[in-house]
Amino acid sequence: MTLATMTPPRQSRSSEMKNWRADFPILDQKVHGFPLVYLDNAATSQKPRPVLEALNRYYEKDNANVHRGIHELSNRATLAFEAARQRAAAFLNARSAEEIIFTRGTTEAINLVAAAWGQRHIKSGDVILLTEMEHHSNLVPWQLLAERTGAQLAFMPVTGDIGLLDMSRLEEFLTSRVKLLAVVHISNSLGTINPVAELCEKARKRGITTLVDAAQSAGHRPLDVRELDCDFLALSGHKMCGPTGIGVLYGRQEVLDGMPPYQGGGEMILSVEYGRSTWKPAPHRFEAGTPDIAGAVGLAAAMDYLDQVGRQNIAAHDMALGAYAYAQLTGLKNLRLFGPHVGRAGIVSFLLKDVHAHDVVELANQRGIALRGGHHCTQPLMRKLGVESTSRASFYFYNTTQEIDRLVEVIREIQAFFEG
């Protein structure tokens, strides 16, 4: 399937974000003869020069294994790795760097909690409370834990296409059997921004442990774990200008102290005998094996960069683009939009009547636009909404309203193509 050939338009850039775009070499290219319009930021963000340079510098000058050596390079690598932990603690306003565990990403962070915390604290008959809009990463690990322990899962309902949590039913769901509330901050499918501080506060009052899936929020708005007062928070570096393969699990110190190891191996032990071992305290107890040292260095550089851009500015820009896209798409006929009308993040999911989401993505690709189509790892939510998949455009601070205009133009073209 191909759209008719058309002259590529001039690259459009809004002046206020021009400086930031210039930091992202990848954005300055053509795809199928058209300027790249990268609107797949919820899947992964692009990486600015300072992050690429930090990775390069680390490998060119300091690369060695951490914590084991006493030679100069090993010392430097260890210092850089532990400095990245400090940086992540400051980024999240954690009480100390000991509350920061490096993981491969959000998925591994949540699996770590489900395995290590869950093993000690969840038993048959307990309830793990989630929402109907969770990413599979914040659902499947709890299903596995429930299978192992005999616990049950419960789901806070989502109010149809508008995609808000039905907060009026919260009290009804917070029963004495609930031991954990694990909730997504910003939905990757709907663009909903959940009231996580309020949810954590209500849960905490009942002695319920809380986990926030911050995969879509950590790089998009200020995050303060003390203000949120959550017990755990998970994020992925690659969605916030950092490299792939690195993420963070924040854990409240006293909760981490009471948890057994996640994986066994080097780096996490105090002493090992043939029959048994003893563990280091958190966070090292949870970081078996050689960590992603370069990834941590790159993530710290990404955090510096995001603070330079200003996380408030990023949040405001995201919300402005989200609102703009929503308004523009609402004007199109035969288009079903998902997620809240107001107060949405920079993520817009939609469905064109009689056109499969994958066809939209494929045809947009022919115009140089990167979208995503599918269930977005939220299959149960899609089923609830009565759809198989949606097309999704997701924005970051380097995107512009002109790029959204271009998206709308191409959607009109796709609609015309299918109407014949």
Ligand X SMILES: Cc1ncc(COP(=O)(O)O)c(C=O)c1O
Distance CA 392, CA 31 (A): 19
Distance CA 92, CA 88 (A): 6
CB of 194 to ligand X, least distance (A): 10
Question: Are 286 and 261 within 8 A, CB to CB?
Answer: yes
Taking the least distance from each CB to ligand X, the nearer of 105 and 346 is 105
136: left (phi over 0), alpha (psi -120 to 50) or beta: alpha
Taking the least distance from each CB to ligand X, the nearer of 188 and 400 is 188
Taking the least distance from each CB to ligand X, the nearer of 78 and 216 is 216
Binding pattern for the stretch 152-171 against ligand X, x by CB under 6 A and - elsewhere:
--------------------
Write the burial class of residue 262 (CB in 10 Å: 0-12 exposed, 13-18 middle, 19+ buried): buried
- Read off φ and ψ for residue 43, nearest 5 degrees: -80, -55
Token couple for 357: 């989401």
CB of 249 to ligand X, least distance (A): 11
CB of 399 to ligand X, least distance (A): 17
230 carries an active-site annotation: no
CB of 309 to ligand X, least distance (A): 21
Q: What single letter denotes the amino acid at residue 131?
A: T
Distance CA 380, CA 153 (A): 13
CB of 91 to ligand X, least distance (A): 17
Taking the least distance from each CB to ligand X, the nearer of 42 and 303 is 42
Taking the least distance from each CB to ligand X, the nearer of 184 and 302 is 184
DSSP letter, residue 69: -
Distance CA 68, CA 367 (A): 51
CB of 188 to ligand X, least distance (A): 3
Number of residues counted as binding ligand X (CB under 6 A): 13
Among 35, 105, 283, 368, binds ligand X (CB under 6 A): 105
For residue 200, the surrounding DSSP H or E stretch is helix 196-205
Among 137, 210, 389, 390, binds ligand X (CB under 6 A): 137
Strands 209-213 and 152-156: unpaired
Among 87, 135, 252, 367, binds ligand X (CB under 6 A): 135
Piece of the chain touching ligand X by CB under 6 A; list 105-113, 267-275, 312-320, 366-374: 105-113
| Residue of 200, 230, 241, 377 marked active site | 377
Distance CA 232, CA 44 (A): 22
DSSP string, 89-154: HHHHT-S-GGGEEEESSHHHHHHHIIIIIHHHH--TT-EEEEETT--GGGTHHHHHHHHHHT-EEE
CB of 351 to ligand X, least distance (A): 19
Taking the least distance from each CB to ligand X, the nearer of 236 and 389 is 236
Contact between 389 and ligand X per CB under 6 A: no
Binding pattern for the stretch 13-42 against ligand X, x by CB under 6 A and - elsewhere:
-----------------------------x
Binding pattern for the stretch 181-220 against ligand X, x by CB under 6 A and - elsewhere:
---x---x------------------------x-xx----
> 10 Å Cβ neighbour count for 401?
16
Taking the least distance from each CB to ligand X, the nearer of 35 and 339 is 339
Between the alpha carbon of residue 275 and those of residues 38, 235, 244, 270, 278, the distances in Å are: 54, 36, 37, 14, 11
Q: Catalytic residue numbers?
A: 377
Q: Interface residues with ligand X (CB under 6 A)?
A: 42, 105-107, 135, 137-138, 184, 188, 213, 215-216, 236
